[in-house]
Structure 1
């Protein structure tokens, strides 16, 4: 499989405080990958660089064959990258249906595009709540909506930042089932989350960061075989 995303020597800072010190990883087309590590170790900063919210100090970000290093966020999004942000960030004054309709599009020419109807089939709860405003939804419903909002853009790569943070166990399981279904449909995904035990059942490849550097990379069997990595770098 060819690399859809390749990150090479990524360095980033906030003012005079450097956070990333040469992060490298690849995500192949159709792969589910994770970015793991404790809070404050550089995961969100990496995502901010990938999505154009933060300009890197150095390094390269190549997405779908184009060097997008330093591009603006809207240009990267139009190329086919969507993010489900930490905290969901749904619009309080838009209904569920309006969220999905506002973001729907197939700029990248998907053969079986995600539509509002397909999202309703994936998350029937969103169809039930279609006329409810964003601020009338539970945390789990907001996360479903944030995923649906990303899907209807028909992205080549979907990023989930803190995919199940703050969700009840039953809702977490529903999100995991959703990710498994998306994997089976061939969607390329990058997940940031702390539930390693569930991630190794869904993801193909894993990258662990510690203090802005990559400290381990490997596949699910390798990560499952060494639980000391979980305790040392993820805290589980």
Structure 2
């Protein structure tokens, strides 16, 4: 589904990524782990074409993404739940969901308003409300629902549960598990090793713009103390 090899990228004269590699298979969940400032968001931006790579290779569903603009990459079936949620505050919940809706993956049973409301009943209850009136947890649900409405092959979540109350975090993890059970491929950034260990198939740890460790869920559990040192827990 997604393969990144030797990725380098940066901003202006500054280099943020020196050697990032990761992989994610069809229907798998993979993680990007690391302390703040280690290159996780820059890696996501490079995959999406928002920060053009300076070297290395990014392949999605067997095709190189080199030189493609962000809109072309999105049309290939990558949906983003950005850090900070970034919902459209003046639009209603329903308007947020339909604003970018498209069956980009050509699913036989695409995501619709009704399916998103079934996944997050609170969004259905607040369909006519302005997004800025929602709680942080509800806005995260809306951001996930908005990304799903593009019917992506790959769903990327940057800081999936940051700043959310424990009960909402549990709901988000349960939602991601349900999406995985439906065959959704997911790349997720978060710091909750316990939740990620139960959910993800592959893990990748970034340190100063480099992939310093990759492994399975079982390997992450076995090396949890070492990984906690890298991610600062």
**TM-score of the aligned structures, taking structure 1 as reference length:** 0.97
Q: String of CA shifts for 1:79-131, please: whole Å, max 9, x gaps.
A: 00010000000011110011112222212211221111110000000000101
Instruction: Name the CA distance, whole Å, in 2 between partners of 1:137 and 1:190.
Output: 25
Contact in 1 for aligned 2:205/2:227 (Cα 8 Å): no
Instruction: Name the CA distance, whole Å, in 2 between partners of 1:116 and 1:66.
Output: 31
1:118 equivalent in alignment to 2:135:
no
Instruction: Name the CA distance, whole Å, in 2 between partners of 1:67 and 1:205.
Output: 22
Instruction: Name the CA distance, whole Å, in 2 between partners of 1:60 and 1:227.
Output: 29
Residue 146 of structure 1 is matched in structure 2 by 143
Candidates 134, 137, 151, aligned match of 1:137: 134
Structure 2's unaligned 5+ residue stretches are none
Residue 48 of structure 1 is matched in structure 2 by 45
Instruction: Name the CA distance, whole Å, in 2 between partners of 1:230 and 1:6.
Output: 22
SS at match of 1:146: helix
CA RMSD for the aligned pairs? Answer: 0.8
Contact in 2 for aligned 1:223/1:229 (Cα 8 Å): no
Q: What displacement does 1:229 show?
A: 2.2
- Alignment size in residue pairs: 233
Contact in 2 for aligned 1:84/1:147 (Cα 8 Å): yes
Instruction: Name the CA distance, whole Å, in 2 between partners of 1:184 and 1:79.
Output: 22
Instruction: Name the CA distance, whole Å, in 1 between partners of 2:77 and 2:68.
Output: 13
Residue 62 of structure 2 is matched in structure 1 by 65
> Which aligned pairs between 1:145-224 and structure 2 lie closer than 5 A?
145-224=142-221
**TM-score of the aligned structures, taking structure 2 as reference length:** 0.98
Contact in 1 for aligned 2:202/2:215 (Cα 8 Å): yes
Instruction: Name the CA distance, whole Å, in 2 between partners of 1:229 and 1:128.
Output: 44
Contact in 2 for aligned 1:196/1:230 (Cα 8 Å): no
Candidates 73, 79, 83, aligned match of 1:82: 79
Q: What displacement does 1:60 show?
A: 1.1
SS at match of 2:155: strand
Q: String of CA shifts for 1:36-91, please: whole Å, max 9, x gaps.
A: 00000010110010111011111111111211123111100000001000000001
Q: String of CA shifts for 1:122-164, please: whole Å, max 9, x gaps.
A: 0000000101111111000000000000001100000000000
Instruction: Name the CA distance, whole Å, in 2 between partners of 1:218 and 1:210.
Output: 15
Instruction: Name the CA distance, whole Å, in 1 between partners of 2:22 and 2:131.
Output: 35
Instruction: Name the CA distance, whole Å, in 2 between partners of 1:107 and 1:183.
Output: 19
Structure 1's unaligned 5+ residue stretches are none
